Amino acid sequence: MEKYAKQIHADDNVATAVSDCVAGESLTVQFGGQTATYACKQNVPFGHKIAIRDIPTGGSVVKYGEVIGSATADIAVGEWVHTHNVRDDYKCLGKDGAPLPGQEEGKACASRGEGS
């Protein structure tokens, strides 16, 4: 049975698995008239992200064409992309759209604590 992942925007470097993918299986991504297949290097659960481009440590994780976080380790094509290797980079913004006090560069809106 062929398995698929969904890429949402041309700039995305991750796709969302629409079924569980066991390490060694492949996911097919169809986007913009192109089809690509990616081997899952780790188990990727349904609804989770798989890297469709290499993402270096500190590099942006892009979904919906928007940065959703940054890599805390190198992430290779085919690897599971989740909280174990991505840091939340969202900022808390006030009604005027400016960052709230304490939201200096590199500090996320909500802290999950060390090791999270």
Domains by residue range for the chain, with CATH: 4-87 (2.30.130.110)
Distance of CA 99 to the CA centre of its chain: 23
Residue 80, pLDDT above cutoff 70: yes
Residue 101, pLDDT above cutoff 90: no
Q: CA 65 to CA 94: how far, in whole Å?
A: 23
Quote the tokens at residue 105: 């560069």
Decide: 105 and 93 in contact? Cβ < 8 Å. no
Quote the tokens at residue 22: 């066991």
Q: CA 102 to CA 20: how far, in whole Å?
A: 39
Please give the average per-residue pLDDT across 45-56, as a whole number.
Answer: 98
Decide: 91 and 108 in contact? Cβ < 8 Å. yes
Candidate from 47-51, 54-58, 83-87 with smallest mean pLDDT: 83-87
| pTM (2 d.p.) | 0.79
The per-residue pLDDT for 33 is: 94
Query: Residue 53 carries which side chain, given as an amino acid letter?
Result: R
